[in-house]
Structure 1
Amino acid sequence: MKQHLIVEVFRSSKHDGMYLYVEKKTGLKEIPEELMKRFGAGISAMTMLLTKEQKLARANTEKVIKGIRETGFYLQLPPVKDEYLLDLYKTPTEAVY
Structure 2
Amino acid sequence: MQCYIYKSLVKDELYLYLNKKDDFSDIPEALFKSFGRLQFVMELELTADRKLAREDVNKVMTSLSNKGFFVQMPPTVLPDALAVQNSKLH
TM-score category, normalised to shorter length: 0.7 to 0.9
**Paired residue for 2:19?**
23
Distance 1:45 1:25, change over 3 A: closer
Q: Which has the larger radius of gyration?
A: 1
What amino acid is the match of 1:32? P
5+ long unaligned stretches in structure 2: none
Aligned length: 84
Mapping for residues 33-72 of structure 1, pairs under 5 Å: 33-72=29-68
Distance in 1, matches of 2:7 and 2:22, equals 16
Query: What is residue 5 of structure 2 aligned with on the other side?
Result: 9
Q: Which residue of 2 aligns with 1:92?
A: none
RMSD: 1.9
Q: Is the 8 A contact 1:13 1:42 kept in 2?
A: yes
Sequence identity percentage: 35
SS of match in other structure, 2:46: strand
2:26/2:67 contact within 8 Å kept: no
5+ residue gaps, structure 1, are 90-97
TM-score (norm 1): 0.76
Displaced runs of 4+ in structure 1, greater than 3 A?
none
Report if aligned partners of 1:24, 1:47 keep a CA contact under 8 Å in 2: no
The answer to whether the Cα contact below 8 Å between 1:7 and 1:21 also exists between their aligned partners in 2 is yes
